[in-house]
Amino acid sequence: MEETPMYMEDFFAAFGLIGIVLGIVLLALYIWSIVWAYRDANNRGKPGWLVALLVALLSWPVGLVVWLLFRPTHSRALNE
C-alpha cells in the first residue's frame, strides 16, 4: 500500500480548515439575517417572530429574499 505524499496531507488539512472557516462565516450570516429580518419586521409593524421563523425555516437565503420582496415599503416609525 502506498503512503500519501506529505504535500497531499497538508493540502487536505488546509482544505478542511478553509471549510471550517467558511462554515462559521455562513452560520454568522444565517444568524444575522434572521435577527435583521426580525427587527425589520417589527419596525414595519409586522410580527417579527413570524418573519424570523420564515427566514430561518425556508431554504436560506431564499427566506431572506422572500422577505425583501414582500415586506411593506414604509416602516411604522416613519408613519408616526
Tell me the pLDDT tens digit for each residue of 35-77.
Answer: 999 999 999 888 999 989 988 888 778 888 888 888 887 766 5
| Separation of CA 56 from chain center | 8
Residue 1 maps to a domain: no
For residue 76, the model assigns a pLDDT of 62
Expressed in angstroms, the distance from the first to the final Cα of the chain is 75
CB 64 within 8 A of CB 33: yes
CB 56 within 8 A of CB 34: yes
Residue 63 maps to a domain: yes
For 19, the grid coordinates are 471549510
Range of the domain at 45: 6-79
CB atoms within 10 A of CB 42: 17
- Name the domain count of the chain: 1
Does the global pTM surpass 0.75? no
For residues 58 and 71, give the distance between their C-alpha atoms in angstroms, rounded to a whole number.
16
